[in-house]
Structure 1
Amino acid sequence: MIELVRWQSVAAIVFGDGSESRLYPLKKRRSEGAIPIASNYRLIDAVVSNCINSNINKIYAMTQFNSTSLNSHLSRAYSGAGLGKEGFVEVIAAYQSPEDQGWFQGTADAIRRCLWVLEEYPVVEFLVLPGHHLYKMDYQKLIESHRNSKSDITIVASNTMRDEDAGFGVLKINAENQVMQYGLRSDREPQNSKVAEALTRLSETNYRCIPSMGIYLINRATMVNLLNQHFPKAKYFGTEVIRGALSLGMKVDAYLFEGYWEDMRSIEAFYQANMNCIKISNVGYNFCDRDSPVYTMPRYLPPTIVNNAVIMDSVIGDGCILNRCKIKGTVVGMRTKIGDGTTIKDSVIMGSDVYEIEDDGESNTNSKSVPIGIGENTEIKKAIVDKNARIGKNVKIINKDNVEEGEMEGIGYIISGRIMVVLRSAEIPDGSIL
């Protein structure tokens, strides 16, 4: 019981929006944390589940942009789910007041303006988390490391540097994993050596540079002092508050994370994360881990109906109606209806919020001529089809011209990294070839 109380003295602050995310148009009408993944889940479920599995039962979710679906999901999914008598997931939506008449200007500004809520419980540390990253971590080990090293702030860093990423924080650490400098990698510096050179012009061999995961464990008193006294106008936690803490001589340490981590900085990264979840030898994120389950909202949908369909290497969500179709290497979301003769390969179909029958000319009052779902004799390859999309009959979504990047949002889709992305609620008429 004493050990459990120790971990419950930490409160998590989860941000539903990602400042560096490049997931448009998937985030056009929703926060990054609300984007569906792996048929049944939302991105934020991974982070909240990490908290629950780590016995952190006080979770504040801070939301601002396009937050309606995220707020609804959090409120309905985690109402007392495995959080104990005093546990909660509390949504703190961006607000205006007579004192603060603008919206949140960044992560540091959001936390500062909500300290009056965050300080209601006698917690010892705050754990600041991005809500749209995909990884599994036992935060208890992070907390133990933070306390044993008597740190003011501990930053979680990945041991894997990826050359294609830009915009993340880079930590210069010594042999004891103490953070000496904090820098920001830019798009103009794609090589690891240039990152190191940007951080320091020195050539010491006992220092190294690693990417920050944007996860911070910070002592309560330290956070209050930094935000209210030392840097009352700081907007961003990493580039301003962390750098400021280093300039003040505070003890800032790095906690090295060895596991899989995907920060969803691009459509390609999101697509690949979905593709990884269908592999038997999954080296990425395991949604089927019995020891570290992923929680989400129960929906009480009927089982999926499969009518003479051929399905290989795929994940199928609840409540789907799959007629005589062929599905291979695909994630199929909830309530998806697929017509006869349709072939789908290497794609992500996000499903729909409602069932809709095909227009018979009388009963359907919807102005759309194509029902929600995927029509007969359609071919879809290497695509992401967002929720409630209406794909007609005899349609081909195959990137016929092998375009790398394309902006056709006005007619319902874009192309990113040769991946076709059909917009939420888009209508693709019968016979279209994309």
Structure 2
Amino acid sequence: MSLFTFQTSVHLKLRLLNNHDKSPLNKFPTRLSISNSQKPECQFPQYLPANQSVAAVVFGQTSQNSRLYPLTKRRSEGAVPIAGSYRLIDAVISNCINSNITKIYALTQFNSTSLNSHLLRAYSGGLLSNHEFLEVIAAYQSPEDDNWFQGTADAMRRCLWALEEHPAVEFLVLPGHHLYKMDYQKLIEAHRTNKADLTVAVLDRMRDYITGFGSFNVDFRNRAIGFVEEPELMPVFQVNGLKLDNGLYEKFPSMGIYVINRHVMIKLLKESFPKANDLKNEVIPGAISLGLKVHAYQFDGYWEDMRNIKAYYEANLESTKKTNMKYNFYDKDFPVYTLPRRLPPSLVTDAVITASVIGDGCIINRCSISSSVIGPRTRVGDGAVIQDSVILGSDIYQVITTIPIGVGDGSFIKKAIIDKNAKIGKNVKIINRDNVVEANNETDGYIISSGIVVIMRGAVIQDERIL
């Protein structure tokens, strides 16, 4: 089976410091002058194609809190591997490319080294176009502000000097760690048709969990008239003096995806809410309170926000299905791009493999693998059994040692996530023997979340151990 790799003409620039940075990494010349609040707003033609008039802003992890810990102990959420060959952020970047939006800014902060490296290596190849780019803007301190990004709104405000280099009519704001396929062209078209100041993407039905982005109260005109931070809360809103009850609006969970007109974004961040740190809880509800035209765009497809380890685990196992896949990594019409690793084919010796995804460069001996995801460079020893598990693989090929990276001979692994470069010894059993639901055993190299055993990155599990 073939995996799609990125081959479109998109280039990436990496800004590591600030707008005064003269680092040699900034080798691409600035094509447009940087505007500021003293310069008059440029007037752009209406309804240009999205690749000319829309710039995407993709957020890496801007908060220390992560729901995918310990997978995010040394990496940001967007850099977490999925489905054997990809990173979570690849799904979002691929949505942009497939939607013909090829002016993309990635704002990164916490544990961003691997994410920045992945973006740089994955999306910088090919014959480069002067009008397409993916630019990473890493968090920075400056003489004007010696703090790091305090939230999504603060990050965008402090990066306006870079965002204004491109004369976008609208900005498409995207979280960088969600798994879904959306044609953003339809979202942009709805935004323009409704002549909205701001459009929010919402799920078309209530989920049985909190999305983390709150909910919008939407009236019969499809306008967002109120915001609820937690979906289970349902206060009465006051809009223009009219008290609304449950019969006059519907409640939809937010996806954290926004389309904002350029001049509206600048005014909200600089003038209306100059101290706001967060888009979700401050700027977007503030725009509603100011009476701006905020429309809701309903999305009816598969969407997973990786709200916890269990959701991440289940999304991985979904990729092993032959039919009725919730998210199709093999869609030729809407491909998922990623880093071409140029690894050798996987070597399989007398193994029994069923309903599983096997990444490149694996060495799989006489073992049994079922309903599992095996990441690149994974070594599986003789007699090992892997069931319903996610193995993230290895960064290197290691010279054989006492306990090498990979799964040792005779080991049995079931319902587990094995992070990169972990060493599982011989005859180890990772089966959650005591049916523990939650446990923190980081000092021993693992935790248990929702009954799923998560072996931490680089952990060593000695021979004969039973977890």
Pair 1:417-2:461 in alignment: no
Identity between Structure 1 and Structure 2 (%): 61
Of the three residues 37, 40, 46, the one matched with 2:85 is 40
CA contact (8 A) 2:428 2:462 kept: yes
Q: TM-score, normalized by length of structure 2? A: 0.87
CA offsets per residue over residues 144-184 of structure 1, 9 Å max, x none?
Answer: 00001000000000113222325331000011210000111
Pair 1:370-2:403 in alignment: yes
Cα 1:246–1:344 shift into 2, 3 Å: same
Name the aligned partner's letter for residue 307 of structure 2: R
CA offsets per residue over residues 219-274 of structure 1, 9 Å max, x none?
Answer: 00000000001110000001110111111110000000000000001000000100
CA contact (8 A) 2:62 2:109 kept: no
Of the three residues 211, 233, 247, the one matched with 1:205 is 247
Pair 1:60-2:102 in alignment: no
2:364 aligns to what? 322
Runs of 5+ in structure 1 lacking a partner?
Answer: 186-191, 360-368
Secondary structure in structure 2 of the residue aligned to 1:61 = strand
| More displaced stretch, 24-33 vs 166-175 | 166-175
1:308 aligns to what? 350
Pair 1:195-2:237 in alignment: no
Matches within 5 A, 1:23-422: 23-80=68-125, 84-165=129-210, 167-185=212-230, 194-197=232-235, 202-359=244-401, 369-422=402-455
Name the aligned partner's letter for residue 61 of structure 2: D
CA contact (8 A) 1:404 1:416 kept: yes
Alpha-carbon shift at residue 21 of structure 1 (Å): 4.1
2:57 aligns to what? 13
Count of equivalent residues: 417
CA offsets per residue over residues 193-221 of structure 1, 9 Å max, x none?
Answer: x4334768853423100100000000000
Secondary structure in structure 1 of the residue aligned to 2:233 = helix
Name the aligned partner's letter for residue 407 of structure 1: N
CA contact (8 A) 1:18 1:131 kept: no
CA contact (8 A) 1:342 1:378 kept: yes
CA separation in 1, counterparts of 2:315 and 2:128? 28
Cα 1:327–1:353 shift into 2, 3 Å: same
| More displaced stretch, 272-281 vs 307-316 | 272-281
CA separation in 2, counterparts of 1:6 and 1:82? 21
CA offsets per residue over residues 361-411 of structure 1, 9 Å max, x none?
Answer: xxxxxxxx4111110000000000000000000000000000000110101
CA separation in 1, counterparts of 2:275 and 2:394? 43
CA separation in 1, counterparts of 2:383 and 2:412? 9
CA separation in 1, counterparts of 2:317 and 2:70? 19
CA contact (8 A) 1:7 1:140 kept: no
Cα 1:166–1:255 shift into 2, 3 Å: closer
CA separation in 1, counterparts of 2:376 and 2:314? 20
CA offsets per residue over residues 116-150 of structure 1, 9 Å max, x none?
Answer: 00000111000000000000000000000000100
CA separation in 2, counterparts of 1:17 and 1:390? 28
CA contact (8 A) 1:43 1:131 kept: yes
